[in-house]
Amino acid sequence: MVDAVCSVASEEIRFDEWDLDVVLTASQKGLGTPPGLSILVASQRALEVRRFYRASMDPFTRSSRSLKVENLLLHHTMHPGKSGCLS
């Protein structure tokens, strides 16, 4: 497991080459979007383990405004110079 809160979108992470199972980040650091979103990338191996040890999770729904803003900022991060909108 890699805590990549500051490094995602600012440093190279070679998920497959480094044989990583889980990379965890948050929206407010390297991605530069508003805080409040946790982002997790998991390998197939990690997903299989998760299914085996299935834990219950409380339901949680993000506000649509936060998701729209984060989507726009991620779009600008991934596609610099291209426009996007909050429609």
Q: Answer yes or no: is 81 within a domain.
A: no
Q: Which of 10-14, 45-49, 77-81, 82-86 has the lowest mean pLDDT?
A: 82-86
Q: Answer yes or no: is 87 within a domain.
A: no
- Per the structure, the count of domains in the chain is 1
- Distance, CA of 25 to CA of 27 (rounded, Å): 7
Q: Answer yes or no: is 6 within a domain.
A: yes
Tell me the pLDDT of the chain averaged across its residues: 76
pLDDT at 59 exceeding the cut of 60: no
Token couple for 9: 């979108």
